[in-house]
Amino acid sequence: MRQEIKRIALLTGGGDCSGLNAVIRAIVKSAILKHKWEVIGFKGGYHGLYMDEYMKLDLQTISGIFHQGGTILKMSNKDNLFKYKVTDENGKEVYKDVSDIAIANLKRHNIDALVIIGGDGTLTSARDFARKGINVVGIPKTIDNDVPATEITFGYRTALDHIMQSLDALHTTAYSHDRVMILEVMGRNAGWLALEGGVAGSADVILIPEIPYDINKVAQTVFDRYNRGSKFTIICISEGAKPVDGDVTIKAIDKDSPDSIRLGGVGDLLAKQLEKIVKPVTGQDIRLTTLGYIQRGGVTNTFDRVLGTKYGSYAVDMIANNEFGRMVIIKNDRMDSVRIEEVVGSGNTGQTSTGGARIVNPHGDLVCSARDIGITFGD
Ligand code: F6P
């Protein structure tokens, strides 16, 4: 028998991206206007669920947030309630399963369904709450666009806009100084941001995790351009890119995060290598820009406002239809859903039980088109 819904809760977990507020707004509006449900939001991701920190979400609370990046609920990528860091009676830090406290909070608030918006780590916990009988609906979010089963995540296109605009800006200064300009972008183990951002921003070389690069081939592109009169070169490199004879560059390990490895620094490595190979020949300076968190912030673009609205309203429909333990996806350009069990667990390896993160096909259409117009990939 279908469960009647009166009150739902939502939370945002993991790292932020543009479009989260668009999703929150869509959930609150559809829940209230279409179904007359009440909505609360737990603050700071799972931390708020555990500590019972929440806010009522009504039509006033969500007014004016549509275009804003980030999330009015705030978020964290550290709080795994199934392995939560606490201090024991001897003052020692230990990890404990505190999920029952979160469940008790949900019961106390008479929550009929919980919408969990997050990436792989957050949705892995969503799966675990579903296994414990909570009515969960998941919504994937990431600028990396690497979530399996869904064709596109909100936040990605806004991040691409930042990359494109940065590459546009780098062109004028690179040209003026005859320099080799490197832009390091995010994306974890998937090269989507570097690939699509690089093509849109007219990069000459794009280096992505899916195509390990040979430093001498990268240098050759710089020489070829120089010899035909283009005395500057723009390189867009993904943080997860790796040389053919090496591995990814790790910036930090965050033990408390479900996804502990923080990539970063490969742009610096590349700059140092090119400095040795290119500068003695052409005299060009090599300069690095690491775009960093600018990719995740700012005003949400048209596409992500619309996409966020679709994800949010579909999640509400799923709750109304009691389709729990599932995650909203886009398949063949249409809204759909899959069991959360099938898509989570990619973590640092990029692998899930059913195959793995959505990564770039090195022989796919866009890579081929890029090669056709002379963009090189260091292979
Ligand atoms: O997954 C989104 C992302 O921005 C990645 O592109 C990046 O590697 C990571 O998050 C950075 O995480 P943090 O916010 O913990 O530094």
pLDDT digits (tens, 9 = 90+) for 208-241: 999 999 999 999 999 999 999 999 999 999 999 9
Q: Which of 71, 147, 163, 186 to mutate to test the pocket of ligand 1 (most atoms within 8 A of CB)?
A: 186
Average pLDDT over residues 128-133: 98
Region 85-114 average pLDDT: 95
pLDDT of residue 259: 79
Span 321-337, pLDDT tens digits: 999 999 999 999 999 99
Whether 287 and 181 have beta carbons less than 8 Å apart is answered as yes
Q: Return the C-alpha torsion angle 369, 335, 72, 80, nearest 10.
A: -90
pLDDT band at 255 (very low <50, low <70, confident <90, very high): confident
Using an 8 Å Cβ cutoff, are 22 and 64 in contact? no
Backbone angles phi, psi at 216, to 5 degrees: -70, -30
What's the confidence (pLDDT) of residue 257?
81
Q: Say yes or no to pLDDT of 71 above 70.
A: yes
In the prediction, which pLDDT does 260 show? 87
Query: What is the chain's mean pLDDT, rounded?
Result: 95
Q: How far is CA 149 from the centre of its chain?
A: 15
User: How many Å separate Cα 272 from the centre of its chain?
Assistant: 28
Q: Which residues pair with 335 in a beta bridge?
A: 330
User: What is the 259 CA–ligand 1 centroid distance (Å)?
Assistant: 9
The arithmetic mean of pLDDT across residues 124-138, rounded, is: 97
> E strands, 38-111, where?
38-42, 54-56, 84-87, 93-96
> Cα of 227 to ligand 1 centre, how many Å?
38
Catalytic residue (one of 16, 79, 144, 161):
144
Judged against a pLDDT cut of 70, whether residue 174 lies above it is answered with yes
Residue nearest to atom 14 of ligand 1 (CA): 15
- Strands annotated E in 50-189: 54-56, 84-87, 93-96, 113-118, 136-140, 180-185
pLDDT of residue 82: 95
- Burial readout 198-229 (b: 16 or more C-beta within 10 A, e: otherwise): bbbbebbbbbbbbbbbebeebbebbeebbeee
pLDDT in tens, 189-198: 999 999 999 9
How is residue 95 written in tokens? 């990890």
- pLDDT band per the 50, 70, 90 thresholds, residue 78: confident
- Which whole number is the average pLDDT over 304-325? 98
User: What is the DSSP-derived secondary structure letter of residue 157?
Assistant: H
Question: What SS3 state is found at 99?
Answer: helix
pLDDT band, very low/low/confident/very high, at 350 (cuts 50, 70, 90): low
pLDDT, greater one: 16 or 349: 16
296 Cα nearest atom in ligand 1: 4
Q: Which residues approach ligand 1 with their CB closer than 6 A?
A: 15, 77, 119, 142-144, 186-188, 239, 262-263, 296
Judged against a pLDDT cut of 70, whether residue 153 lies above it is answered with yes
Say yes or no to pLDDT of 8 above 90.
yes
Q: What is the pLDDT of residue 256?
A: 78
Atom of ligand 1 nearest to the CA of 295: 4
At 351, is the pLDDT very low, low, confident or very high (cuts 50, 70, 90)?
low
Q: For the chain, what percent of residues have pLDDT higher than 90?
A: 91
Report pLDDT digits (tens) over 335-344. 999 999 999 8
Separation between Cα atoms, residue 216 and residue 327, nearest integer Å: 44
Which amino acid residue places its CA nearest to atom 16 of ligand 1?
262
Look up residue 212 and give its two tokens: 């390990």
Give the pLDDT confidence score for residue 353 in this predicted structure.
47
pLDDT score, position 74? 97
pLDDT of residue 346: 60
Q: Which domains does the chain have, with CATH numbers?
A: 7-154+300-344 (3.40.50.450), 159-297+361-372 (3.40.50.460)
Q: Coil, strand, or helix at residue 225?
A: helix
CA of 257 to the centre of ligand 1 (A): 11
Nearest partner of 160 among 117, 208, 192, 188, judged by Cα: 192
pLDDT of residue 48: 97
* Full 3-state SS string of 295-352: HHCCECCHHHHHHHHHHHHHHHHHHHCCCCCEEEEEECCEEEEEEHHHHCCCCCCCCC
CA-proximal residue: ligand 1, atom 11 (nearest): 262
> pLDDT > 70: what percent of the chain?
97
d(CA 110, CA 197): 45
pLDDT over threshold 90, residue 50: yes
Residue 79 annotated to the active site: no
**Predicted pLDDT at 44:** 97
Q: How far apart are CA 310 and CA 26, in angstroms?
A: 8
Q: What is the CB neighbour count within 10 angstroms for residue 345?
A: 18
Which of 78, 145, 188, 348 has most ligand 1 atoms within 8 Å of its beta carbon, as the pocket-test mutant? 188
CA 84 to ligand 1 centroid distance, Å: 21
